[in-house]
Amino acid sequence: MESIKFLFLLLFQVVLSVFLFILFQDKSKKPEKNVSLYLMSEEPVITILLWTWPFGYRFILNQCPSSFDITGCFFTANRTLFLEADAVVLHQRDVCSSKDQLPQFPRPPKQYWIWFSMESPSHIVNLSFIDNLINLTMSYRADSDIFTPWGWLKKPDNAQIFSIPKKTSLVAWVISNWNPSNRRIIYYQELKKHIHVNIYGKQHLPLPRANHSDTLSKYKFYLAFENSLHEDYITEKLWYNALVLGNVPVVLGPPRQNYERFIPPDSFIHVDDFSTAQELASYLLELDKDDHKYQQYFNWRSKLQPESAIPWVSHYCKICKALKEGPNYRTIPSISRWFK
């Protein structure tokens, strides 16, 4: 009798242990909240898969600024959802070293592969890897399927008076990639013979991130010299370091006409407007002595204000609208023929 009670007690403990183990396992599984929320919805959902985080930089998905309507879209970086994804975003610099970095799963019919790059053609390799694979382009080029510029101008919500930041210095330049054979370095070497330029960055003056804005806004002019010359390649050098921070950009990049597609003609100074670097230096020194003439470069600020797309999220949020508009499904034979 005692043995029966013992066996019954032992069996009860085993059953209880198994029950508790299963219960614990179920509770320990934490399903993707966003996946269950979106994919179980009765409404049609456009699933957008980020194949990689751009340069490894992570940000919160599905929380776009209010100016973006992402209703009906679900962003994810979970590769296990590849077969359910309506679109896959391929950031060029993260998939360019090997074809093995591209999705290796069987591709669902009509799944959009979106090619994304904010780098210029001079800094991109192995574009042939994606021949006949891409359906939509996404870049700083204005003729991209999804246009993602480094910055833009917008009308302020309320009338506002722009005050030029107090100026205590003349010309600044931030540069990290010092290539003596690059056109911008060659131009600077001639310019510095005629005007002093404070240079920040690697092997130059330190520019802590916390002091970035305060430091550069004190300069009257900023050298927004691009590292390569390509159509529409106008980066944060102009948009943030110059326009947002309230100084006059001196640009070296695509032709003046290209800049004027995006910013007013009287908002910047182009090196091509001068036959020599000495002439440019003389003009900057002239503006330094004439406050009224200098301030004319800010007249446009009464109607427009610059925005800089530094956070990656502002680029990715544009994908939802583009897909909801139902783009024609076509395959691009060669990105490199267009992107040059």
Which residues have a catalytic role annotated?
A: 119
The answer to whether 171 and 195 are in contact (CB under 8 A) is yes
**In whole angstroms, how far apart are CA 45 and each of 52, 221, 264, 306?**
21, 48, 40, 33
Residues 6+ apart with CB under 8 A from 120: 226, 227, 228, 230, 233
Tokens (6 digits) for 46: 């456009």
Instruction: Please name which of 267, 257, 325, 270 lies closest in space to residue 296, comparing C-alpha atoms.
Output: 267
Token pair 């930089």: residue: 57
Amino acid, single-letter form, for residue 18: V
Instruction: Write down the residue that tokens 């490199």 correspond to.
Output: 336
Backbone dihedral region for residue 329 (phi beyond 0: left; psi -120 to 50: alpha; all else: beta) = beta
Q: Is 320 exposed, middle or buried (0-12, 13-18, 19+ CB in 10 A)?
A: buried
